[in-house]
């Protein structure tokens, strides 16, 4: 299924659209990992949290 979706996307979608979709997936994973880290380790241990980075939060903002 994944191979079919990748082939179909590559054949039928422009590169910019594919890149935007990949960016949304990576943003979702980044925000999810940061949220999990903050739940498991409530005391900040990193000098800069991922939550401080700019960009849409896929869990609260529509694409």
Q: What pLDDT shows up at residue 10?
A: 87
List b or e across 10-29, with b for residues whose CB sees 16 or more CB atoms inside 10 angstroms: eeeeeeeeeeeeeeeeebee
Q: What is residue 59's DSSP assignment?
A: T
Q: What is residue 31's DSSP assignment?
A: H
Per residue in 10-45, pLDDT (tens digit) is 899 999 999 999 999 999 999 999 889 889 988 866
Q: What pLDDT shows up at residue 17?
A: 93
Domain boundaries, the chain: 23-63
Bigger pLDDT: 39 vs 51: 39
């Amino acid at each position: 299924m994944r191979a079919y979706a990748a082939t179909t996307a590559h054949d039928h979608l422009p590169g910019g659209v594919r890149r935007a979709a990949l960016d949304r997936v990576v943003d979702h994973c980044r925000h999810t990992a940061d949220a999990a880290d903050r739940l498991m380790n409530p005391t900040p241990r990193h000098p800069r949290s991922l939550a401080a980075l700019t960009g849409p939060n896929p869990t609260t903002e529509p694409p």
